[in-house]
Amino acid sequence: MPPGYALVEQFADGPPERWLARGPRGEAVVLRRAVGLDGPAADRQATEMRRLAAVVGSLESPHVLPTVDVLVGSGELVLVASCAERGTLADLLDRRGRFAPGEVVTALAPIAAVLGELHSRGVVHGHVAAGNLAFAADGSPVLCDVGVREAIAGRPASGPADDVLALGRLGRRMLGGASSAESLHRMLEAATAADPQQRPDATSLAGALLRACPAEPVRFREIKTPGAGSGDVSRPQRRLISLTKRVAAAVAAIAVAAVLGHLWGSRSGGSGAALPALPPTGVHPVATATTDWPAIARGLVTARFRAVAAERLGLLSTAYVAGTSAAQADAATIRELRTMHVRPRGLSADVVAVDVELDRPDAAVLRVVDRLSAYALVDRTGRVIARQPMGLPTTVELSLSRTDAGWRISGLRVIAAGQPTSAPSAASTSS
């Protein structure tokens, strides 16, 4: 067992075994564990799983469960993933047996879209099954174990049409027979056609599902298996729910620290690239009359905070030169917020003042005073879990480079960091 992880309970046999565990910080995680491997085999499988983890991480989708770490040692390979708090579709099928058409759309359309993105990157899931489709705390579906069946279990390679077939079969199983949604039935029949060439691709299936009938939230607790009493979730799942509740407050605090620590410049390594040499003090060049530096500064600062608030890595290119350490630091903040399933609602910054330090045709340095807005940390259901008041003015030095797309930030250095006016306040957890 890798150091730093404590096994809680096994809830699925292998290969690979699945374990509920506690991570180094006490967080709830799920371990996929393949044992009895020789060294070269474990190394090959680890290399493949790291490749797949990188592909999954590039999707920027909340509907696929990323692999947090890949660990190798003592003849075993362990994949570490975060938890999907509401269990799997297999659990729900055991308890309910049948779903409304709108619930089928909610559960499967996002998964079909994720599969389409994976297929476009040359990755096939290989085992789309009820046990590999889980639900996050807000009830949204999450695809698990991308590529694990082939990389670890050694199953034969499959193709994109096989993923579509498996998803279509899941949809028909969820409906459990005839329903009034004829268009949904027709689409699922097409997805399960005997001839793979007659099946839609995953992206087309996602769109067709959304058009078939209105989506509605998946219901989790209204139907219980006869004789099950209070056991409407499995024993490992009850432990998982208990464990995730215990770390919820810590998650909120970490999320606040992740946002504030980087955006206010206190995160190590977040200062950005080295700035161009400045002229001697008091000999700063004057901005040209045709360059509206305050407008450029406001646009770049706004773009930066828009990317973080929306948790969209792709938007960082509207603020930064690609690959700079400042861009990477903001990207790390976005990934942390995604992992914690929280969003900084209302996050923005007002530019108070701009002073030009350097003005060249292809480079500039601006000293900018901005002020972080008040904002709320919300979970995926929109529930407020913490509030942050407006911050004090902060002075930053922005190094800019002219690119084909316009001016972009190539370095960011905090000169005088403002502090929050008070500590983040946790929202009441009572409903």
Peptide bond before 15: cis, by omega within 30 degrees of 0?
A: yes
Same structural domain for residues 217 and 310?
A: no
Confidence of residue 407 (pLDDT cuts 50, 70, 90): very high
Residue-by-residue DSSP string for 227-267:
T-TT-SS-HHHHHHHHHHHHHHHHHHHHHHHHHHHHHTT-S
Name the residue with higher pLDDT: 333 or 406.
406
What are the tens digits of pLDDT across the range 289-341? 478 899 999 999 999 988 888 888 888 999 999 888 888 888 888 887 777 67
The residue from 65, 83, 101 where one domain ends is: 83
* Domain presence at residue 122: yes
If asked whether residues 419 and 299 sit together in one domain, one would say yes
Residues 32 and 153 in one domain: no
- Give the model confidence (pLDDT) of 327-376 as tens digits: 888 888 888 777 767 788 888 888 888 889 899 989 999 998 888 888 88
Look up tokens 């949904």; give the residue: 184
Question: Which residues have a Cβ under 8 Å from the Cβ of 165 and sit 6 or more positions away?
Answer: 191, 192, 196, 199
Tell me the mean pLDDT in the region 257-271.
42
> Is 263 within the bounds of a domain?
no
Higher pLDDT, 196 or 144: 196
> Comparing 3-17, 273-287, 291-305, 319-333, which segment has the lowest mean pLDDT?
273-287
Range of the domain at 364: 268-426
Instruction: For residue 2, name the pLDDT band (cuts at 50, 70, 90).
Output: low
CATH number at residue 69: 3.30.200.20
pLDDT band at residue 162 under the 50/70/90 scheme: very high
CA distances (Å), origin 129, targets 52, 85, 206, 252 = 18, 18, 17, 32
- Give residue 346's pLDDT: 85
Q: Is the pLDDT of residue 138 over 90?
A: no
Give the chain's domain count.
3
Q: What are phi and psi of 425, to 5 degrees?
A: -105, 130
* pLDDT single digits (tens) 182-235: 889 999 999 999 999 999 999 999 888 888 888 888 888 643 333 333 334 455
Q: How confident is the model at residue 32 (pLDDT cuts 50, 70, 90)?
A: confident
Ranges 9-18, 118-127, 405-414: which has the least confidence: 9-18
Domain boundary among 83, 105, 120: 83
What pLDDT does 221 receive? Answer: 64
CATH of the domain at 311: 3.10.450.50
Residue 21 has pLDDT above 70, yes or no: yes
pLDDT score of 213? 85
- Which tens digit of pLDDT belongs to each residue from 38-61? 667 667 777 777 887 788 777 777
Please determine, for residue 377, whether its predicted confidence score (pLDDT) is greater than 60. yes
Domain shared by 33 and 173, yes or no: no
Q: Does residue 250 lie in a domain region?
A: no
How confident is the model at residue 88, as a pLDDT?
Answer: 86
Residues 94 and 73 in one domain: no
Residues 408, 319, single domain; the answer is yes
Same domain, 93 and 79: no
Which pLDDT value is given to residue 296? 93
Question: Cβ–Cβ contacts within 10 Å for residue 395, how many?
Answer: 18
Same domain, 283 and 419: yes
Is residue 262 a part of any domain in this protein?
Answer: no
Q: Which of 139-153, 155-169, 274-288 has the highest mean pLDDT?
A: 155-169
Same domain, 198 and 68: no
Q: Looking at the structure, do residues 59 and 123 belong to the same domain, yes or no?
A: no
The answer as to whether 123 is a domain residue is yes
For the stretch 102-130, pLDDT in tens is 899 999 998 998 899 889 888 888 889 99
The single-letter DSSP state of residue 99 is: -
pTM above 0.85, yes or no: no
The pLDDT mean for the chain works out to: 74
Note whether 34 and 167 are same-domain residues.
Answer: no
Q: In whole angstroms, what is the distance from residue 343 CA to residue 258 CA?
A: 12
Contact present, 137 and 385 (Cβ < 8 Å): no
* CATH number for 102: 1.10.510.10
Q: How is 327-338 classified by DSSP, letter by letter?
A: HHHHHHHHHHHH
Q: What is the pLDDT of residue 46?
A: 76
> What pLDDT sits at residue 193?
95
Whole-number percent of the chain with pLDDT over 90? 19
Q: Residue 392: what pLDDT? A: 72
Residue 251 lies in a domain: no
Residue 106 domain flag: yes
Helix axes 202-212, 101-120, angle to 10 degrees: 160
Element housing 49 (H / E)? helix 39-57
Write down which residue in 68, 83, 98 finishes a domain. Answer: 83
Clarify whether residues 288 and 390 are in a common domain.
Answer: yes
pLDDT at position 245: 43
Please choose, from the candidates 336, 332, 370, the residue with its C-alpha nearest in 3D space to the C-alpha of residue 353: 370
- Answer yes or no: is 247 within a domain: no
The larger pLDDT score, comparing residue 411 to residue 255, is at 411
Residue 255 pLDDT = 39
Residue 154's pLDDT is: 54
